[in-house]
Amino acid sequence: MMTDPIADMLTRIRNGQRARHAEASIPCSRLKVAVARVMEAQGYLSGVRVEEEGAKATLTVGLRYRTDGREMIDGLRRISKPSRRVYVDAEEIPKVRNGLGIAILSTSSGVMTDHDARAKNVGGEILCEVW
């Protein structure tokens, strides 16, 4: 049994990029799809699709690379973990790499970036940071 599915998702994306794969396959859940769509909207992933095979669904994400061949994602870090949840108010949302990266939050208004959460003045659980 997997104890932290979001950390597993981030690891699969990181490993796929290091191995220069075009896409990565991840076991699907609604939260993972929401996180992947935020990463796609911010330009870190090239595509997100859900493939259903019987009772199991698989999330397939397209990995992006820069024109010089380097990975688009320089780093991924899980912040809130099952053993230690991290919640913040709207005023306490940290900037990632002085604004060069994003934090992905799960809020009462859905999954969004730190910038969107500050604009909507909502806090929530910091799921991960991407830069």
**In this predicted structure, what is the pLDDT of residue 72?**
96
Q: What is the pLDDT along the chain (131 residues), one digit of tens a residue?
A: 689 999 999 999 999 999 999 999 999 999 999 999 999 999 999 999 999 998 899 999 999 999 999 999 999 999 999 999 999 999 999 999 999 999 999 999 999 999 999 999 999 999 999 99
In the CATH hierarchy, which fold is given to the domain comprising 5-130?
Dna Ligase; domain 1 (3.30.1490)
**In this predicted structure, what is the pLDDT of residue 54?**
87
HSE at residue 89, side-chain half, CA atoms within 13 A, is 2
Burial class, 39, CB count within 10 angstroms (exposed 0-12 / middle 13-18 / buried 19+)? buried
**In this predicted structure, what is the pLDDT of residue 90?**
96
